[in-house]
Amino acid sequence: MKEYKVVIYQEGALSSLIFGAANSNADKFSAFLNETAKEGWRVITMQKDMRRLFLFWQREAYLIVMERDR
């Protein structure tokens, strides 16, 4: 039997406010994926999105669907 989890991964709002747009930090994103993998989660699919923040700013976000055995 499988168990599923949906996660929205995005950087904090501060860099969006300072630079106008924020891209995900590759090292932090890798650390997040490695931590969830240690818990048995496996990425099934991932989609990148630019999300609006406070009307004028944008930040990069990822919608991630994960699964693991129960």
Most confident of 8-12, 27-31, 36-40, 51-55: 36-40
Return the residue matching tokens 């994926």: 33
The reported pLDDT for the residue numbered 1 is 94
In this predicted structure, the answer to whether residue 46 has a pLDDT above a threshold of 80 is yes
Radius of gyration of the chain (CA): 14
pLDDT of residue 22: 54
Asked whether residue 41 carries a pLDDT value surpassing 70, the answer given is: yes
d(CA 61, CA 42) in angstroms, rounded, equals: 19
For residues 13 and 26, give the distance between their C-alpha atoms in angstroms, rounded to a whole number. 17
List the domain range (segments joined by +) for residue 44. 2-69
Q: How confident is the model at residue 33 (pLDDT cuts 50, 70, 90)?
A: very high
pLDDT of residue 25: 76
CATH number where 58 lies:
3.30.110
Tally of domains in the chain: 1
Inter-residue contact 59 to 16 (CB < 8 Å): yes
